[in-house]
């Protein structure tokens, strides 16, 4: 880990000023930053500890729940309103990492977490994300954990978050603040695909801070679940996961949201599947048929080609899970 | 910087390639001369690509010994400071070549391959990783290519006070010291173990404010102001019920993961999430035990939770 | 008042649960400096240039060692056994495997050493890398390096036997590279006092470390002391010294200060050995009644370019079943990889996966219950050595475990049992491990205060050595257990063998008992208790040629396979083991269960992947290399079958550290077949192999 200077601002103003300096990085829970700094993959000159700021509240409003950027994953996942009104979100967070990590990780840190691609992390292999222009060692390498969609010739790294998949399905909105002002971005537009600049992962600008993520508490959102499939029962990243919300009335699907994890370079909404579900009867046949439309543009590698079919089955399984509860 | 790139031609250079090259040069305060088979071009960060003429190309070939496929970094006098050779410098590999040569220059060593890899300018989702301040502090129009002083601060120690097991422990440490290493190497509390130093095994679990967290991913400086409990402080004189239960149920073998298991279990019981067997297994999955004591760990936690220890 | 055979609490448990057990890296040594190993980025070639100036200028750095100027030491020569393997001690510019040590940075703090290490720049001349057996199969050859037997064996005529068979199975089974990954990374603290070296080292074999360090540095063994009172797991990778131990001592010599070197978790995948990838071809033939007419088991595993290691996967096949015709062979292929080493049940774990899967396939082919097939081929005497077993209670194991498991409820047809989304399968397999023994020494001292101190230079890796030796001593002395203290983990103590091969109890136990017996006699012969009274013993192995010494067991497993998603989970395990006398049923249970957990990991999760191009290890941390977590492990019931053996050693024990893993992977693969109708012959069995 490189030597750095450490500051712990007590006001948002001071934090934004510190973050505007070149070479500054925000520290929230530390579960991504400290890890990548120890690997020498990230080398900020200044670490700005945000934990003195009052950004940890979880606020239930009339039509949405606002998750403060520094609320811990645990606090969100077990918050009674989240559990009741956004069950896929609670499921998703609980399916991630471990109890200890969930106690440390923040909402904004989970949003901004970085890929687990081994070639990115080893600090030696050609990696366009870590070292632009050096190539992508994963393309012809071991790709079991890599993305099958949203990829490019420059990068196939999967986005590892569970929380973000649920947020994508639940139409979440990211609140941002900088010295220039505030803005909001839809979560599905927050993360970017690698294209030819995999070193850029989101629309967050230098000097900008995530202050909250807001999730609408619609009737649709209340009927949502998350299913994660991995290589062992716990403490592992997804091979494929799905967050699904289904509004079923009189046995017929009125509205649907489907998002995939483990397979995309960013959390992956599936509008084709959603469209195919609406208006149909909520039956296993419908679910399977609609799920087959997922990942139509998948471009897998030999090691991860199985994820395409797996993801489709996970969608069908999750749909059945939600529909089963809806009866 | 001078790149001998036999197959490079302006019409084939995409916007994104030129953008990437300019960005790189801007960061260095350098300009690039690309020497093709017969023609040479100059690229400055904020100018158009300029053709230098076939004569210039021939002279450059002559001056630098008919090199092919190399990227050179030159000083003011045109002396070659560093050379990066690679298989084929063309549109797809030119930036890589510049990058590698840059790293060579910045690390003051002639080389093809850096163990550290390229320390590049990345603007990444709020974690703005900066190269070296040389690149940022320099005005982009500064033509001086000499490397500047290292931008990261020299290791500076700061005063940190950690509230550990009920006692305030002052330390003078660099900010990069983890809570785990502060405990083990400076506070003579080696009960907390380092199994992976990457947040992947749970052996380093301690309590901060009563919550189970990983000390390897916690900076000591960031752990100030909150009570920290380690395995040495859990019992407070007598054995904690979880400790007693672990002994009685033989929930350990080599014992290396044990402090982390116990700290995790004690907090889990307080979290009130140790209800069913499956829930305990799931909630304790962040503590790896290679000896495979899991069934006994489950039994011990149930016993401790239930108020019994044996 | 006997203690042996009672389930007393582990004697060292109190220290372990309070965090006061001192592991190697915990040792408080004044003015210790920190060393970090730098490893190669390529898998084969040479170092063309290495730039150390930045590292040397880094704050706090005391020294940077590389092949350019490292002290000359003896790194080993070809043809040595594992204890004399060739180490990578910065003596040349040659790179033999990816992540090989190429430099060491020593600094006053760990953070400074780590960061300085990252500034070292290396230029390589890379050569084409052969990263797996499959890239070099044609070069397989027979190595002399096999331990515990000959490379090849034959009895009868396998070709004739196969020709006469009514049912035949011929298949290839493969197991991947695996890494031990004990929770405690290897660690060494090296301290020189003049020309005397003390190392606090995480090791299963303190005397092996002592001998090797003496050889590396060219000093007498008497000038080297090795201390390791608690080992955080070993499973074979701490059985013999690796490069980091000598590098730590080298660094300490150069900087003239004690040096602590802790191997990083990624380095644990290349620096300290691994189980090699095996390719195993098996042919089985049986008659209409299921009696075996032929067994053939041929094994290939990889080794490094510079040392040979044989994974003896076919050894147990020689004696496991009665068949008049049986042949086995072992071959190795040299590739650009580190030298493999012993990993929990080396040979028996990988080998039982193959033979027990093949037996299951034969059972289905012959339409005979898999358990019944084993019974019909029960070997009452060792068929290969033509000797009686010193004891064998496998039949009791089969019956007890089958009964408890409810094997009779199994519907023979695959895919005939289900529960909602989950297909249910039952599988079984035979478990076995040899009962090894080596000579050992022990010292028993009667103190004037009425207590007893028993000492042996052995190791406790979580195996329970502290506890069972105390129990043995207390009984031999006929005193209460709280009067006895057992010391281990110091090469200043009487010499004992490496804690490997499940032989600690069988080797050191008799020495302890003998020493205590002699001490008791001395005490009876005197009334003067004002001074220490001592008895010291070195055992001699009794004639081991008359019998064949093995433990046996039976594993029964229920798996649930998600029909759509392919996820396999083990729902329950029932196993029975007969391993001679069990000294402490509580700690023994933990050993058996721990082995079974390893078997589950082996069957379903573990694989070390190397990049095809560079040989670099891709699965280089505990997030990518999966070992079982708590949620993977169901209820595991172990039945300990009492067994008396008067021939195996003076105390009737057989060793239990490794038998637990044997058979489990096959039992799981067999259960997966029963559940799904899909036969998976390649480990690990992960969902993508079942999605079909």
Chain segment B12-24, per-residue pLDDT in tens: 677 667 767 776 6
Q: What single string gives the DSSP state of each residue in B164-177? A: ETTEEEEEEE-TT-
Give a yes or no: residue A138 inside a domain: no
- Report the residue of chain B nearest C627, measured CA to CA: B290
Region of C399 on the Ramachandran plot (φ > 0 left; ψ -120 to 50 alpha; else beta): alpha
Strand intervals (E) in C21-69: 33-39, 45-51, 61-66
A with B: how many residue pairs have Cβ under 8 Å apart? Answer: 198
Instruction: Give yes or no for residue C331 having a pLDDT over 60.
Output: yes
Instruction: Give the pLDDT of residue C223.
Output: 98
Q: Edge-to-edge strand order for the sheet containing C635-640? A: C418-419, C422-434, C550-562, C568-578, C635-640
Q: B120: distance to nearest CA of chain A, Å? A: 6
The pTM (predicted TM-score) of the whole model is: 0.90
How far is C-alpha A196 from the chain's CA centre? 21
Alpha-carbon span C19 to C12, nearest angstrom: 11
Task: Tell which residue, C286, C323, C344, C399, has the closest CA to residue C665.
Answer: C344
C600-633 per-position pLDDT tens digit: 999 999 999 999 999 999 999 999 999 999 999 9
Instruction: Give yes or no for residue B223 having a pLDDT over 80.
Output: yes
Could you count the other beta carbons within 10 Å of the beta carbon of residue C337?
28
Instruction: Give the pLDDT of residue C81.
Output: 79
Do residues C579 and C554 lie in contact, with contact meaning Cβ atoms separated by under 8 Å?
A: no
Instruction: Give yes or no for residue B64 having a pLDDT over 70.
Output: no
A231 touches chain B (CB under 8 A): no
Contact A49 B222 (CB under 8 A): yes
Find the mean pLDDT for residues C35-56. 97
Instruction: Give yes or no for residue C88 having a pLDDT over 70.
Output: yes
Instruction: Give the pLDDT of residue B86.
Output: 55
Least confident of A127-131, C1-5, C323-327, C354-358: C1-5
Which residues in B27-54 are b (16+ Cβ under 10 Å) and which e? bbbbebbbbbeebbbebbbeeeeeebee
For CATH 3.10.20.30, list the domain ranges present in chain B: 158-305
CA trace torsion C193, C197, C203, C208 (10° rounding)? -160
Alpha-carbon span A262 to A312, nearest angstrom: 12
Rg (C-alpha) for chain A, rounded Å, is: 19
Do residues C153 and C298 lie in contact, with contact meaning Cβ atoms separated by under 8 Å?
A: no
A266-311 per-position pLDDT tens digit: 999 999 999 999 999 999 999 999 999 999 999 999 999 999 999 9
What are the tokens at C576?
């029975």
Instruction: Give yes or no for residue B104 having a pLDDT over 50.
Output: yes
Do residues C73 and C216 lie in contact, with contact meaning Cβ atoms separated by under 8 Å?
A: yes
Q: Edge-to-edge strand order for the sheet containing A181-186? A: A58-60, A64-68, A209-216, A173-178, A181-186
Based on the domain organization, do A77 and A203 belong to the same domain? yes
Instruction: Give yes or no for residue B77 having a pLDDT over 60.
Output: no
Instruction: Give the pLDDT of residue B110.
Output: 32
CATH code where residue A93 lies: 3.30.465.10
Alpha-carbon span C299 to C332, nearest angstrom: 8
C468-501 per-position pLDDT tens digit: 999 999 999 999 999 999 999 999 999 999 999 9
Could you count the other beta carbons within 10 Å of the beta carbon of residue A216?
16
Find the mean pLDDT for residues C162-167. 98
Cα angle: B166, vertex B170, B175; to 5 degrees: 115
Instruction: Give the pLDDT of residue B95.
Output: 72
Contact A30 B118 (CB under 8 A): no
Contact A197 B221 (CB under 8 A): no
Based on the domain organization, do A228 and A248 belong to the same domain? yes
Give a yes or no: residue A75 inside a domain: yes
Which of the residues B290, B297, B302 would you substitute to probe the C interface, choosing the one with the greatest number of C C-beta atoms within 10 Å? B290
Q: Which chains sit next to B, with 3 or more Cβ pairs under 8 A?
A: A, C
Give a yes or no: residue A143 inside a domain: no
Instruction: Give yes or no for residue A71 having a pLDDT over 80.
Output: yes
Instruction: Give yes or no for residue B78 having a pLDDT over 80.
Output: no
CATH superfamily of B158-305: Beta-grasp domain (3.10.20.30)
Q: Pick B96 or C79 by higher pLDDT.
A: C79
Do residues C105 and C120 lie in contact, with contact meaning Cβ atoms separated by under 8 Å?
A: yes
Annotated catalytic residue C658: yes
Q: What percent of chain B is modeled with pLDDT above 90?
A: 46
- Report the residue of chain C nearest B254, measured CA to CA: C462
Instruction: Give the pLDDT of residue C408.
Output: 97
B226 touches chain A (CB under 8 A): no
Instruction: Give the pLDDT of residue B140.
Output: 28
Q: What percent of chain C is modeled with pLDDT above 70?
A: 100
Instruction: Give yes or no for residue B88 having a pLDDT over 60.
Output: no
Alpha-carbon span C393 to C577, nearest angstrom: 8
Instruction: Give the pLDDT of residue B79.
Output: 59
Give a yes or no: residue A139 inside a domain: no
Least confident of B75-84, B274-283, C60-69: B75-84
Do residues C249 and C217 lie in contact, with contact meaning Cβ atoms separated by under 8 Å?
A: yes
Based on the domain organization, do A43 and A163 belong to the same domain? no
CB-CB neighbors (< 8 A) of A130 in chain B: 117-118, 120, 122
Q: Taking a contact as any Cβ pair under 8 Å apart, which residues of chain C between 537 and 566 contact chain A?
A: 564-566
Cα angle: C141, vertex C144, C150; to 5 degrees: 105
Give a yes or no: residue A284 inside a domain: yes
Instruction: Give yes or no for residue A238 having a pLDDT over 70.
Output: yes
Domain that holds residue A292: 224-326
Please state, in angstroms and as integers, the Cα–Cα distance from residue A236 to each residue in A228, A261, A262, C648, following that order. Answer: 10, 13, 11, 45
Instruction: Give yes or no for residue C363 having a pLDDT over 60.
Output: yes
Instruction: Give the pLDDT of residue C225.
Output: 98
Q: A312: distance to nearest CA of chain C, Å? A: 10
Q: Could you identify the residue written with the tokens 């004399």?
A: C84
Contact A313 C623 (CB under 8 A): no
Based on the domain organization, do A171 and A291 belong to the same domain? no
Find the mean pLDDT for residues B38-58. 70
Instruction: Give the pLDDT of residue C196.
Output: 98
Contact B222 A132 (CB under 8 A): no
Please state, in angstroms and as integers, the Cα–Cα distance from residue C549 to each residue in C30, C222, C379, C553, C660, following that order. Answer: 48, 35, 13, 14, 17
Contact C51 B231 (CB under 8 A): no
Instruction: Give the pLDDT of residue B125.
Output: 29
B246 touches chain C (CB under 8 A): yes
Do residues C13 and C64 lie in contact, with contact meaning Cβ atoms separated by under 8 Å?
A: no
Q: Taking a contact as any Cβ pair under 8 Å apart, which residues of chain C between 328 and 387 contact chain B?
A: none
- What length does chain B have? 310
Do residues B33 and B3 lie in contact, with contact meaning Cβ atoms separated by under 8 Å?
A: yes
Could you count the other beta carbons within 10 Å of the beta carbon of residue A219?
12
At B103, the pLDDT band (50, 70, 90 cuts) reads low
Domains of chain C: 24-128+183-233+238-269 (3.30.365.10), 139-178+274-435+546-689 (3.30.365.10), 438-538 (3.30.365.10)
At B89, the pLDDT band (50, 70, 90 cuts) reads low
Instruction: Give yes or no for residue B123 having a pLDDT over 90.
Output: no
Number of domains in chain A: 3
Find the mean pLDDT for residues B171-189. 98
Instruction: Give the pLDDT of residue B124.
Output: 29
At C6, the pLDDT band (50, 70, 90 cuts) reads very high
- Nearest by CB to B107, from C54, C184, C185: name it: C54
Instruction: Give the pLDDT of residue B70.
Output: 66
CATH code where residue A13 lies: 3.30.43.10
Find the mean pLDDT for residues C141-164. 95
Based on the domain organization, do A278 and A243 belong to the same domain? yes
Based on the domain organization, do A103 and A172 belong to the same domain? yes
Q: What percent of chain C is modeled with pLDDT above 90?
A: 98
């Amino acid at each position: 880990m490189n030597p750095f200077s450490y500051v712990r601002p007590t006001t948002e103003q001071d934090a934004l000023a510190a973050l505007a300096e070149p070479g500054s990085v925000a520290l929230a829970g530390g579960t991504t930053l400290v890890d990548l700094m120890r690997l020498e993959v990230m080398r900020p000159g200044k670490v700005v500890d945000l934990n003195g700021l009052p950004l940890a509240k979880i606020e239930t409003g009339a039509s949405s729940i606002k998750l403060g950027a520094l609320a811990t994953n645990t606090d969100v996942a077990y918050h009674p309103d989240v559990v009741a009104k956004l069950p896929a979100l609670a499921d998703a967070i609980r399916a991630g990492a471990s109890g200890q990590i969930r106690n440390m990780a923040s909402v904004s840190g989970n949003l901004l977490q970085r890929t687990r691609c081994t070639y990115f992390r080893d600090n030696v292999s050609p990696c366009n994300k870590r070292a632009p222009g050096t190539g992508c060692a994963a393309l012809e390498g071991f790709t079991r954990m890599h993305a099958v969609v949203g990829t490019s010739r420059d990068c196939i790294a999967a986005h590892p978050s569970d929380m973000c998949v649920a947020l994508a399905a639940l139409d979440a909105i990211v609140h941002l603040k900088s010295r220039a002002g505030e803005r909001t971005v839809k979560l599905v537009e927050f993360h970017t695909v690698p294209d030819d600049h995999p070193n850029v992962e989101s629309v967050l600008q230098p000097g900008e801070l995530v202050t909250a993520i807001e999730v609408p508490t619609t009737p649709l959102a209340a009927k949502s679940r998350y299913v994660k499939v991995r290589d062992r029962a716990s403490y592992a990243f997804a091979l494929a996961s799905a967050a699904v919300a289904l509004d079923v009335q009189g046995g017929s699907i009125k509205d649907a949201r489907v998002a995939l994890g483990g397979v995309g370079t960013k959390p992956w909404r599936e509008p084709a599947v959603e469209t195919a579900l609406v208006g149909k009867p909520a039956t296993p046949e419908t679910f399977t048929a609609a799920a087959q439309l997922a990942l139509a543009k998948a471009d897998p590698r030999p090691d991860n080609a199985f994820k395409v079919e797996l993801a489709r089955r996970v969608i069908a399984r999750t749909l059945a899970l939600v529909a089963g509860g809806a009866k | 910087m001078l790149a001998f790139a036999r197959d490079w031609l302006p019409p084939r250079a995409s916007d994104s390639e030129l953008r990437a090259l300019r960005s790189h040069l801007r960061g260095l305060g350098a300009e690039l001369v690309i020497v093709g088979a017969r023609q040479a071009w100059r690229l400055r960060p904020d100018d158009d690509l300029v053709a230098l003429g076939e004569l210039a190309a021939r002279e450059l070939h002559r001056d630098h010994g008919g090199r092919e496929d190399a990227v050179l970094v030159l000083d003011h006098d045109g002396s070659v400071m560093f050379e990066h050779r690679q298989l084929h410098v063309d549109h797809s590999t030119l930036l890589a070549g510049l990058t590698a040569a840059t790293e060579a220059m910045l690390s003051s060593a002639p080389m093809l391959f850096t163990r550290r890899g390229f320390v590049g300018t990345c603007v990444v989702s709020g974690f703005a990783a900066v190269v070296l301040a040389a690149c940022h502090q320099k005005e982009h129009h500064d033509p001086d290519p000499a490397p500047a002083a290292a931008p990261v601060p020299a290791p500076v120690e700061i005063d940190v006070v950690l509230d550990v097991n009920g006692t305030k422990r002052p330390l003078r440490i660099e900010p990069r010291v983890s809570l785990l290493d502060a405990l083990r190497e400076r506070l003579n509390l080696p009960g907390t173990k380092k199994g992976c130093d990457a947040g992947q095994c749970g052996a380093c679990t301690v309590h901060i404010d009563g919550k189970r967290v990983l000390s390897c991913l916690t900076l000591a400086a960031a752990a100030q102001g909150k009570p920290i409990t380690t395995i040495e402080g859990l019992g407070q004189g007598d054995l904690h019920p979880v400790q007693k239960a672990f002994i009685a149920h033989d929930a350990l073998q080599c014992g290396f993961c044990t402090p982390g298991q116990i700290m995790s279990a004690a907090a889990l019981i307080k979290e009130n999430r140790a209800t069913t067997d499956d829930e305990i297994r799931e909630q304790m999955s962040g503590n790896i035990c290679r000896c495979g004591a899991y069934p006994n760990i489950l039994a011990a936690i149930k016993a401790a939770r239930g108020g019994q220890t044996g | 008042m006997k203690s042996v055979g009672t389930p007393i609490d582990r004697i060292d448990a109190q220290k372990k649960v309070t965090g006061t057990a001192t592991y190697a890296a915990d040792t408080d040594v004044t003015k210790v400096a920190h060393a970090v190993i730098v490893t190669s980025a390529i898998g084969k070639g040479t170092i063309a240039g290495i730039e150390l100036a930045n590292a040397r200028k880094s704050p706090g750095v005391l020294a940077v060692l590389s092949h350019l100027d490292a002290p000359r030491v003896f790194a080993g020569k070809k043809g040595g056994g594992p204890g004399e393997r060739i180490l990578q001690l910065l003596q040349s510019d040659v790179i033999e495997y990816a992540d090989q040590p190429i430099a060491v940075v020593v600094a006053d703090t760990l953070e400074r050493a780590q960061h300085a290490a990252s500034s070292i720049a290396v230029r390589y001349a890379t050569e084409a890398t052969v990263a797996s057996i499959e890239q070099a199969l044609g070069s397989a050859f027979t190595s002399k390096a096999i331990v515990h037997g000959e490379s090849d064996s034959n009895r009868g005529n396998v070709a004739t036997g196969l020709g006469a068979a009514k049912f035949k199975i011929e298949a290839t089974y493969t197991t991947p590279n695996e890494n031990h990954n004990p929770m405690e990374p290897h660690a060494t603290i090296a301290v020189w006092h003049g020309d005397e070296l003390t190392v606090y080292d995480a090791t299963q074999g303190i005397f092996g470390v002592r001998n090797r360090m003496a050889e590396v540095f060219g000093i007498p063994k008497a000038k080297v002391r090795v201390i390791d009172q608690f080992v955080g797991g070993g499973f074979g990778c701490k059985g013999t010294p690796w490069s980091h131990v000598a590098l730590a001592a080298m660094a300490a010599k150069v900087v003239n200060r004690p040096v602590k070197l802790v191997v990083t978790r990624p380095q644990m995948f290349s620096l300290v050995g691994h189980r090699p990838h095996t390719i195993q071809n098996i042919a089985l033939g049986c008659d209409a009644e299921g009696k075996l007419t032929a067994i053939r088991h041929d094994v290939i595993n990889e080794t490094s370019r510079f040392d040979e290691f044989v994974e003896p996967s076919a050894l147990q096949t020689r004696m496991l079943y009665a068949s008049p015709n049986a042949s086995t062979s072992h071959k190795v292929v040299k590739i650009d990889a580190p030298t493999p080493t012993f990993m929990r049940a080396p040979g028996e774990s990988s080998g039982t996966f193959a033979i027990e899967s093949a037996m299951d396939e034969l059972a289905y082919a012959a339409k005979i219950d898999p358990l019944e097939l084993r019974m019909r081929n029960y070997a009452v005497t060792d068929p290969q050595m033509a000797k009686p077993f010193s004891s064998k209670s496998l039949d009791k194991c089969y019956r007890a475990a089958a009964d408890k498991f409810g094997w009779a409820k199994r519907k023979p047809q695959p895919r005939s049992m289900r529960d909602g989304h989950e297909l249910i399968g039952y599988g079984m397999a035979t478990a076995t491990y040899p009962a090894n023994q080596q000579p050992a020494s022990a010292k028993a001292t009667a103190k004037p205060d009425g207590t007893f101190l028993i000492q042996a230079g052995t190791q406790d890796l979580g195996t329970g050595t502290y506890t069972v030796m105390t129990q043995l001593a207390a009984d031999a002395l006929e005193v209460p257990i709280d009067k006895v203290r057992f010391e281990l983990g110091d090469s200043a103590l009487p010499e004992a063998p490496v804690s490997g091969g499940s032989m600690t109890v069988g080797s050191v136990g008799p020495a302890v008992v003998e020493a205590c017996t002699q001490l008791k006699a001395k005490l009876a012969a005197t009334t003067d208790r004002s001074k220490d009274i001592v008895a010291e013993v070195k055992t001699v192995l009794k004639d081991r040629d008359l019998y064949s010494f093995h433990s046996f067991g039976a594993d029964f497993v229920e798996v649930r396979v998600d029909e759509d998603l392919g996820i396999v989970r083990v729902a329950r395990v029932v196993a029975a083991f007969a391993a001679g006398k069990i000294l402490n049923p509580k700690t023994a249970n933990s050993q058996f269960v721990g082995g079974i957990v390893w078997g589950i990991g082996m069957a379903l999760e573990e694989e070390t992947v190397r990049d095809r191009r560079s040989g670099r290890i891709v699965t280089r941390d505990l997030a990518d290399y999966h070992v079982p977590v708590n949620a993977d492990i169901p209820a595991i019931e172990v039945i300990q079958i009492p067994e008396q053996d008067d021939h195996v050693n003076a105390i009737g024990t057989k060793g239990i550290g490794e038998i637990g893993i044997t058979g489990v992977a096959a039992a799981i693969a067999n259960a997966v077949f029963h559940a799904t109708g899909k036969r998976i012959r390649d480990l690990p069995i992960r969902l993508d192999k079942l999605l079909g």
